[in-house]
Every structure is written in C-alpha cells, then in structure tokens.
Structure 1
Amino acid sequence: MKIVTDHHGDGRACVVRIHGEIDMVTVPEVQGALESVMNRGCLNVVLDLQKVSYMDSSALGLLVWADRALQPKDGTLVLAGADRNVSRILEISGLVTAAPTLTAAADAADALSGLELSDAPDEPLWVREMAFPAHSASLARMRADVCEVLEPLEIAESASFDIRVAVGEALSNAIRHGSPHGEDDAVSVTVTAYDDRVVLVIADSGAGFDGESSSNGDPYASSGRGVMFMRALMDHVEFSPLPGGGTAVTLVRHLGKTAG
C-alpha cells in the first residue's frame, strides 16, 4: 500500500491519497495516516479513493472511527473518487448519509473546492427572490422554479440534481414544520449567484428549527433524513432563527467553474 498526504491552504484541509486495497491488514496504516493529519490540525480530510481497488468491512469500521474522531472537532471527511465497485460497498453501508461528518465527491479536486470556499465576495452576480404558499401540492413547482432560476449558471447535471434534492428537503421541512397556518403562510427562497458558488436561503415562519436530524442516524427511522441529505449534498448548510419568528436555511454549493 502507498499513502500520500497533501496539506492545503492553512492546513485545515488535506488530502490523503490511498493506493491499494483497504482491508484488515492495511486499515491500521490508513488510520495512522488519518490520525497524523488530524493531530496536525487538519479538520477537513479528503480521503482520495481513486486508486483503491478493494474495500471490506474493516474499511467501514475505519470510517466509523474517523467520523467519531471528527465530530467533536466539527470536522468533515470527504470520500472522493471511489470507483463503481467501492462506491457500491459505501452505498450498501449507508455510512455517507448516516454519519454526520461523512460526505462524498466525484474526485479530490471537487472535494477541496467545496472545503476551501473563501468568504463570498461583496457583490453577487445576481439575486433572485421567490415566495410560495406553504402547500405540499406546490412542492414540485417550487423545485422546478428554483432549478429554472439556476439555468443561466450552466451547472453540471449532477450538481444541479444535488441542489434540487437539498432545496426540496429544505422546502419540505418549511412546509411541514415551519408553516403553522398552512397555506396562509408563505415560504420564501432567495437565490444568490457568485463567481464560484450559489447560495440558496429558504425561510419559513414557524416556531424554529435547529437543524438536528430526528432520525439520529437510524437507517430504519420513518423520517428525519432530510437534514442528512442536505449536509451530504451541499458544501455548507446553516440553520438560523429569524427575528420575527421562523427559520432560515442557508445552502451553499460550489460551482466548480466561473458562473455564466
């Protein structure tokens, strides 16, 4: 096995590139590499799996360990570049959606672009605001309208789908939990485009929500996975109380290229 570690920016983001197979024999070596970068202050770890040809249950145990190690530090572990076979193992495990710190990316470069987002520039390219009645029958139209607004940015199809799902989950929560008066309440969506990212804010008028998933990572829970989906699909998710009551959910997605 070969392990190569690269630190980026201020050292809070790093890439651990694995070459070979991850099993009970090699897991201690990989864990040692992860411990080393975490001890040096790396809280956002990209585990590059592009050159990994095999992964078994021992590797899944390693990911559980990493999740528990990063949670108290508000860190993130991004699994990048997994091929079809390794992705299948990760899919079966359900860890990417269940573990709070784990996300996935197409490759290491895409993962880093999301982790190293700088402060947004003062002037956006444009801002669009929309308001909808808080009715579940409007959900499909709401998602479609948001996607239509994003079309000028020429976002990759996979990223556009991720945004659609994350926005859909935020809208569903706003209707289900943030609209005490039903259709008499309104849900607003503000879309702000920058050169390197898109920021979407979904606001409701409910009693407030802190962003904690009610499923608690239980794969058999009947509900409560929406927040996990948002955090897994977006580069940044934030829940904020509104002064007049209600909650604003901010979703940030890196565009990976200059916006149109």
Structure 2
Amino acid sequence: MSDSFRVEQDAESRSCVVRLKGDLDMAMVPELRKGLESALEASCANVVLDLAEVTYADSSALGLLVWLDHRLGPVSGRLVLAGANRDVTRILELSGLVGVAANVAMSSSVVAALEGLDLPDEPAEMMWHQLIDLTPEIGSLGAVREEVCELVAPLGFPDSALFDIKVALGEALANAVRHGAPQAGESKVRVEVLGYPDRVVLEVMDNGTRFDGTHAGSDDLYAPGGRGIMFMQALMDRVDYDDSPLGGTLVRMTKHRPGIR
C-alpha cells in the first residue's frame, strides 16, 4: 500500500475509510483510484475519505470525487469527505461538488461520518415529538427554522450540525411552499420533529402533488436534480420520501446525534 494512503474496512457500515496524507494531486490520484476500485469491487458501499492530513488538492482530486460519485450512485452508496482543513475545504467549495453531487457529503471527522453511516434502519423508542403547523408563506419560514433548531439543540448537536439541520429544513420547507400546493383548495404545510436516543428526524409534509424522489427530468426544484434536494442529501444522513397524511408529500430527514454509535 502507498505511503500516501491506506484503505480500511468498517464492516458495520459496509464502508471503506481511506486515510490520506500529503498532496491529493495527479501524482497520488491514479494509484488511489486503483485502490478504491478494488475496495468497491469487494462490496464496499460507502467511502469515507479522511482528509485531516491532506495539505493540498487540485483538479485531479475533484475528478476523483466525481468518479466516486458516479460509482457509488448505482449501489445507493455515500461518499463522505471528513476532516478537511480550511484550505482543502475552500477547494471543495469552489468545485461546487458538495450540494450538487447526489452522493457526496462532508463531515467534521471520520468518527462523525461513520456514526451517520452506521445508523440502524429503525430507531430506538422515541423520546419526544413536536408538531408545527405553519402558514405556507415564504415569510413564515425563518421563524420555523429557528423554532426547530431550538427544539433539537438540547440533543447535543454542535453548531455545525445545527446549521446543517437548519439549511436542510429550510430547503424542504421552501419546496413544500413553492411546489406543494394542491390543484384546488387551501395549501397546508406541517413539520414534525422527533427526538430519539441516537438521532433526530424531521418530517416536512404538504398537501400538494405527490413526489417520490425519482428523477423527473425537468428543471423543477422539487426534482432530485434540483439544488435544494442535493443540499438536503448532502447535509443530512438520510432523506426519504413518503405519502403525507395531509395528502401530498412527506420528506423525512435524519441526522445522527454525535457521540452515539
């Protein structure tokens, strides 16, 4: 194995943790891609790139990330970029990959990334829940975002995770207000916040046209090709779609609680 990277298997989450060191550039990328290809062929479904010791990244690195995104898509896998320093984070932000590539997310550390990937399908017994019915108007969204963050803050989320939750919730609410109106009658939007020992779940419901998360092949922001949907997928551990009890779409977003694995 190269001195510049090491691939480790995490059986619990079917993940590969790739420990990188030094410059993620055209000298490292070809060999790294071969190592990743071998890991993916050995049934690795998720990839966590440990960027904590990466000091440089260029367009070769971005090409690798695009390739990984395409490789993981068919198996519903995730690529998590963990622990990047300020300079590498800036390159990633300039690329626009996070928030656009459907399977790419960022995390503060490898530990936090694996906690999110390891979440069981079914949570433990619910501790509490809160329903919020809101007027489906753009002007009401800011107050709802703040109210939800106040509800989940006692669960121990760091400021960065609270911001992720706020942005993802904001995108789901904006979609419900813009695209969740019924053909006739009054629009309804509801948020349910559910607290569990290992996670928080946000459910945003509307009474508009049913959306199941499949590609609509349009420029509609409520299609998975829309930027808002990409933000939700990048910022939360899971995003699912279901029938809303109000008659339209229910978007369910899950974020793991830190330090619980």
Is the pair's TM-score, using the shorter chain for normalization, greater than 0.5? Answer: yes
Choose the corresponding residue for 1:80, options 73, 79, 82.
82
Distance 1:213 1:230, change over 3 A: farther
Choose the corresponding residue for 2:55, options 53, 62, 74.
53
1:191 aligns to what? 193
1:16 aligns to what? 18
Distance 1:54 1:183, change over 3 A: farther
Residue 121 of structure 2 is aligned to residue 110 of structure 1: no
Indicate if the aligned counterparts of 2:205 and 2:245 stay in contact, CA closer than 8 A. no
Cα-to-partner distance string for 1:1-24 (whole Å, 9 max, x where unaligned): 422222113461120111121211
Q: Which amino acid aligns with 1:74?
A: S
1:160 aligns to what? 162
Distance, in Å, in 2 between the alignment partners of 1:187 and 1:23 is: 47
Residue 196 of structure 2 is aligned to residue 209 of structure 1: no
Indicate if the aligned counterparts of 1:133 and 1:183 stay in contact, CA closer than 8 A. no
Choose the corresponding residue for 1:120, options 117, 122, 145.
122
Secondary structure at the counterpart of residue 184 of structure 1? coil
2:222 aligns to what? none
Indicate if the aligned counterparts of 2:4 and 2:28 stay in contact, CA closer than 8 A. no
Indicate if the aligned counterparts of 1:120 and 1:194 stay in contact, CA closer than 8 A. no
Distance 1:170 1:215, change over 3 A: farther
Superposition deviation, residue 93 in structure 1: 0.8
How large is the Cα RMSD of the aligned pairs? 2.2
Secondary structure at the counterpart of residue 103 of structure 1? strand
1:148 aligns to what? 150
Choose the corresponding residue for 1:229, options 208, 228, 231.
231
Where does the alignment leave 5 or more consecutive residues of structure 1 unmatched?
Answer: 218-222
Indicate if the aligned counterparts of 1:134 and 1:182 stay in contact, CA closer than 8 A. no
Q: Which amino acid aligns with 1:40?
A: A
Q: Which amino acid aligns with 2:82?
A: A
Distance 1:65 1:121, change over 3 A: closer
Distance, in Å, in 2 between the alignment partners of 1:10 and 1:127 is: 29
Indicate if the aligned counterparts of 2:22 and 2:54 stay in contact, CA closer than 8 A. yes
2:175 aligns to what? 173
Indicate if the aligned counterparts of 1:213 and 1:226 stay in contact, CA closer than 8 A. no
Cα-to-partner distance string for 1:131-150 (whole Å, 9 max, x where unaligned): 11212221112212212222
Q: How does 1:35-74 map to 2 (within 5 A)?
A: 35-74=37-76
1:220 aligns to what? none
Superposition deviation, residue 46 in structure 1: 0.1
2:100 aligns to what? 98
Distance, in Å, in 2 between the alignment partners of 1:44 and 1:169 is: 25
- TM-score normalised per structure 2: 0.89
Indicate if the aligned counterparts of 2:49 and 2:80 stay in contact, CA closer than 8 A. yes
Superposition deviation, residue 121 in structure 1: 3.5
Distance, in Å, in 2 between the alignment partners of 1:224 and 1:77 is: 19
Greater Cα offset, 141-150 or 161-170: 141-150
Where does the alignment leave 5 or more consecutive residues of structure 2 unmatched?
Answer: 220-224
Secondary structure at the counterpart of residue 98 of structure 2? helix
Indicate if the aligned counterparts of 2:180 and 2:207 stay in contact, CA closer than 8 A. yes
- TM-score normalised per structure 1: 0.90
Q: Which amino acid aligns with 2:81?
A: L
Cα-to-partner distance string for 1:141-180 (whole Å, 9 max, x where unaligned): 2212212222332321111111011111101111111123
Indicate if the aligned counterparts of 1:213 and 1:227 stay in contact, CA closer than 8 A. no
1:251 aligns to what? 253
Distance, in Å, in 2 between the alignment partners of 1:64 and 1:226 is: 19
Distance 1:21 1:147, change over 3 A: same
Superposition deviation, residue 242 in structure 1: 3.2
Superposition deviation, residue 70 in structure 1: 1.0
Superposition deviation, residue 205 in structure 1: 0.2
Distance 1:168 1:22, change over 3 A: same
